[in-house]
Homo-oligomer: A and B are copies of this chain.
Amino acid sequence: MTRGVAGELRHYLGPTSYSLAESRALLASAGELKKSPLRTDLAGKTVGLIFFNPSLRTRSSMTVGAFQLGGQALTLDVGVGTWKLEHRDNWVMDGDAAEHIKDAARVLSRYVDILAIRAFPERRGWGEDRLDPIIKAFARWSEVPVINLESSLYHPCQSLADLMTIEERLGSATGQPLVITWAYHPKPLPMAVPNSILLEAAKFGMDVRLAHPEGWELDDEVMTEAARLAEGAGGKLTVHHDLEAALPGARVVYAKSWGSIRYYRDPDEEARLKAPLRQRWRVGSHHLAQGDDAVFMHCLPVRRGVVVDDDVLDGPRNAAYDEAENRLHVQKALMLQLLSENAK
């Protein structure tokens, strides 16, 4: 087993865990792995996948990826066949949870070489959720590198795959106009995907245009960080409450629904306010037509006829399947990189 010393380990927790140069190196490595998928670097090694929530692409691409590198994935569904886990420090554990993440992380570090974790927000409050308590607890106590497979705040494997897809379609991402648009959805979904593509695209110096109705603002600190990254990379970040205003010249329309922070504790009120937005904020081919030969992107899963029209998903401008495939390639690059830089 590869062992890092706690505190010195490098994890992959968000889009800013790696610099632009490091991210570019990961994309180059992913491109090589796309051409030559089979490796033996992970011979005898196990990647532990811990899911607090459902997954299709993530468990599939991680399991396939680990195997193609010569290793295996071990999947643990928390609460389904495993114990419930506690994350609060100095907590008297007389409730539901039978084990503390501190102990689970230390124990799993004895068995596996990488820990990859999915932990959606628990929706008790955004102030609490935005701290990413579960993934942070794993990162704090694990003695092997940790990969974020989607937390409350970030889904950085997705945004890395997104940038790979953008560069495959458009060449260099730098300076390219990207519209990230909110879309209607019956449920208040997590913000990890919009947060991540926002930061990643800003980091790559894109012309980022964020479109959403008033009341669906993203997290303040994420917005501040995105503005800082955009400035540092010579890119742009603008916000629009009207999707049409954001579209002219767009090369990419990236759709995603997310729940409102303002109405985080009041989903009924959010649903009431959201109902009239249903038609206006569903992406269709007329939106793509307002861009410049624009590509459609979405992290999937997607609700057809609700978030986006069938003809967009079934047409040639849809890059969502490429994004999903590229999850495999970037995650393999990431596993190789984390093992390499955290070795002994």
**Hey, which bits of chain A sit against chain B, CB under 8 A?**
1, 37-38, 43-44, 46, 48, 51, 54-57, 59-61, 63-64, 67-68, 72, 74-77, 80-83, 86, 90-94, 98-100, 102-104, 106-108, 110-112, 186, 300-306, 310, 313-314, 320-321, 324-325, 328
| Pair A104/B56 contact, Cβ less than 8 Å | yes
| Pair B186/A108 contact, Cβ less than 8 Å | no
| Pair B54/A82 contact, Cβ less than 8 Å | yes
- Give 13 CB contacts A-B under 8 Å: A46-B67, A56-B83, A56-B107, A59-B81, A60-B74, A64-B74, A86-B304, A92-B305, A92-B306, A93-B305, A99-B302, A103-B302, A110-B321
Main secondary structure of the interface of A (DSSP, over half): mixed
Central interface residue in A75, A91, A98, A107, by most chain B CB within 10 Å: A107
| Pair B82/A55 contact, Cβ less than 8 Å | yes
| Pair B44/A68 contact, Cβ less than 8 Å | yes
With a cutoff of 8 Å between Cβ atoms, the chain B residues found around residue A305 in the complex are 90-94
With a cutoff of 8 Å between Cβ atoms, the chain B residues found around residue A300 in the complex are 99, 103, 107
| Pair A100/B324 contact, Cβ less than 8 Å | no
With a cutoff of 8 Å between Cβ atoms, the chain B residues found around residue A57 in the complex are 107
Measured CA separation A292–B321 after assembly (Å)? 57
Measured CA separation A155–B306 after assembly (Å)? 35
With a cutoff of 8 Å between Cβ atoms, the chain B residues found around residue A91 in the complex are 304-305
Q: Which residue of B lies closest to A93 (CB)?
A: B303
Measured CA separation A205–B56 after assembly (Å)? 43
With a cutoff of 8 Å between Cβ atoms, the chain B residues found around residue A102 in the complex are 304, 313-314
Within the complex, the shortest CB–CB distance from A6 to chain B, in Å, comes to: 12
With a cutoff of 8 Å between Cβ atoms, the chain B residues found around residue A111 in the complex are 60-61, 64, 325, 328
- Complex A-B, nearest 7 residue pairs according to Cβ-Cβ distance, in ascending order: A99-B301, A92-B305, A110-B325, A93-B303, A107-B324, A38-B44, A64-B111
- How many copies of this protein are present in the complex? 3
With A1-B37, A54-B83, A67-B72 given, name 18 new contacts (CB 8 A): A37-B44, A44-B67, A44-B68, A46-B63, A54-B81, A56-B99, A56-B104, A60-B74, A60-B111, A63-B74, A83-B301, A86-B304, A90-B310, A93-B306, A94-B306, A102-B304, A103-B321, A111-B325
Measured CA separation A235–B232 after assembly (Å)? 71
Within the complex, the shortest CB–CB distance from A51 to chain B, in Å, comes to: 6
| Pair A59/B38 contact, Cβ less than 8 Å | no
If A80-B81, A313-B103 touch, whether A301 touches B98 (CB-CB below 8 Å) is yes
If A54-B83, A302-B99, A303-B98 touch, whether A110 touches B38 (CB-CB below 8 Å) is no
With a cutoff of 8 Å between Cβ atoms, the chain B residues found around residue A54 in the complex are 81-83
| Pair A328/B110 contact, Cβ less than 8 Å | yes
| Pair A60/B112 contact, Cβ less than 8 Å | yes
| Pair B301/A103 contact, Cβ less than 8 Å | yes
Measured CA separation A26–B117 after assembly (Å)? 34
Measured CA separation A94–B304 after assembly (Å)? 9
With a cutoff of 8 Å between Cβ atoms, the chain B residues found around residue A38 in the complex are 43-44
Q: Which residue of B lies closest to A66 (CB)?
A: B72
Q: Which residue of B lies closest to A61 (CB)?
A: B111
Within the complex, the shortest CB–CB distance from A199 to chain B, in Å, comes to: 24
Within the complex, the shortest CB–CB distance from A117 to chain B, in Å, comes to: 14
With a cutoff of 8 Å between Cβ atoms, the chain B residues found around residue A37 in the complex are 1, 44
